[in-house]
Structure formats: C-alpha cells, structure tokens
Amino acid sequence: MSNHAQKLAKLKQKLAEYEAKRDEIIATGQSIRLRNGDDNRELTNVSLAQLNALIENTERQIDQLEAFVNSQGNPSGIRVSARVL
C-alpha cells in the first residue's frame, strides 16, 4: 500500500471517529475526551463547533488526497489552468 493510500485510510478512520463522537454528544449530551496525538480535549455540547471544524478539516484533507491519488489534482488543492491567447 502506498504512503498516500495509508494516509488516506488513516484520515478516513479519523473522520469516522470524529463523526461518531459528535453523534454521541448530540444524542446523549455527554462530554467526551478526544485524543488526537498529544492533544487531549474534553468536549461538551458547547464545543460542538470545534468538533465540526475538525470534521470539516479532515474531510477537506481526504478530498485533496483522493484527488491526488486519482491523478485528478494535487495535494495542495490548487488548480492551475493555462490558456493560449
């Protein structure tokens, strides 16, 4: 498995975990502990915006990496086009 494919799999797993935790908070109103490397946070209903931002950022990373892996873009997400005038 290529390095990009491994990174993509990890990002998709992380996204699934974030979404499950968000759904848990919404359903139960509980606070949860979120671990992301050295970053440990306690999240509650008040901090759902923070968790949603993590989800959006992870989705953006997945989209960019999938485009790169599928040779439809590049990892920076910048599209370049040129026209001859």
pTM over 0.85: no
Tokens matching residue 22:
């968000």
Tens of pLDDT, residue by residue over 60-83, are: 999 988 888 776 555 555 555 556
Q: Maximum CA pair distance of the chain?
A: 60
pLDDT in tens, 33-50: 777 777 777 766 557 788
Name all domains of the chain by residue range, CATH numbers in brackets. 3-69 (1.10.287.370)
The pLDDT of residue 4: 83
